[in-house]
Amino acid sequence: MKKVNNIAVLTSGGDAPGMNAAIRAVVRTGIYHQLNVFGVMYGYKGMLTGEIFPMESKSVANIIQRGGTVLKTARCKEFYEPEGRKKAYENLKKFGIDGLVVIGGDGSFKGAQKFSQEFDIPCIGLPGTIDKDIAGTDFTIGFDTAVNTAVEAIDKIRDTADAHDRLFIIEVMGRDAGYIALHSGIATGAEHILIPEHKTNIDDVIDHLTANERRSKMVNLIVVAEGDEFGGADEVARHVKDRMPQLDTRVTVLGHIQRGGSPTCLDRLVASRMGYAAVDALLNGTTNVMVGIVNNEIQFTPLDKAVKAKQQIDPEWLKIVKILAS
């Protein structure tokens, strides 16, 4: 087993609250074990451009409570090509880097998996994504904060919906996964939750709204994941207005406010545990895996499995939604 002496950490893909807590944990755990720790700016792009710098304990002071990522993030098409990955490898070797921690989503993990297959630098992935769309972990860094942001916004929308007897259709993030919509919708008492994992029957939605109108229930909330196969909030609203023009219908798209903000306690704890475990894994020779937390225990999933599998929504959740919204 080759001893790891110099490790680098980067954030890639979409930002997520808690990424800074993960960076902090990687840096300070590495330093505790007398490793040299480097930061890579702008994800894989920074590996290609050589934006790599040594980090000390004070480099990560006062960042655990901040959203976003101090290492910045960017998309990098050049990294998809063999020439780009070779250039990135050569830049890492200039600093003697022999271990890499990648904080990001499945796209970032695909890049790490490919990179580790081609070169002799082991990679550890930390699931940093607000969508919670990666199998092998009960939590992803940023999900809890994003959901709480959505819940706070939807609660405020319910107040104005109640004041005016309105139907609000609220779009939350979730291009391929409906976890934000599912959790925030249940937590705010939404009448309908539309997610990519479950085929939307607009007739059922209309029938339910009609029944609510008959029993004088005039305040209704529909939470829609942006990736719902029927369409986003605007498309749902168009169908509702066509068939129920008497309803006072409004659309709100929460958008990128779900990505920002100070991470919750849970996200800080999850990120800290995962960052610590990532360095521990590199030291113990456990490489090319994603760090997850399952049943409150650290669990490692091979990167190739993590990028192929998707987190599945338990049908029991959908049953809960139907019963509680009746």
- Residues serving a catalytic function are 131
Angle of helix 143-164 relative to helix 179-187, nearest 10 degrees, comes to 50
Distance, in Å, from the CA atom of 103 to the CA atom of 99, rounded to the nearest integer, reads: 13
Q: Which two tokens stand for residue 40?
A: 């890579």
Burial (CB count within 10 angstroms: exposed 0-12, middle 13-18, buried 19+), residue 83 = exposed
Of 58, 66, 18, the closest CA to residue 39 belongs to: 58
Distance, in Å, from the CA atom of 36 to the CA atom of 158, rounded to the nearest integer, reads: 51
- 8 Å CB contact between 276 and 29: yes
- 8 Å CB contact between 263 and 142: yes
Of 13, 145, 135, 165, the closest CA to residue 74 belongs to: 13
- 8 Å CB contact between 99 and 278: no
Q: Which two tokens stand for residue 204?
A: 């059922």
Task: Provide the 3-class DSSP secondary structure of residue 101.
Answer: strand
**Amino acid in the structure at residue 25:** A
All residues at 6 or more sequence positions from 215 whose CB lies less than 8 Å from its CB, including other chains = none
Distance, in Å, from the CA atom of 167 to the CA atom of 300, rounded to the nearest integer, reads: 44
All residues at 6 or more sequence positions from 3 whose CB lies less than 8 Å from its CB, including other chains = none
Antiparallel, parallel or unpaired: β 6-11 and 289-294: unpaired
- 8 Å CB contact between 129 and 159: no
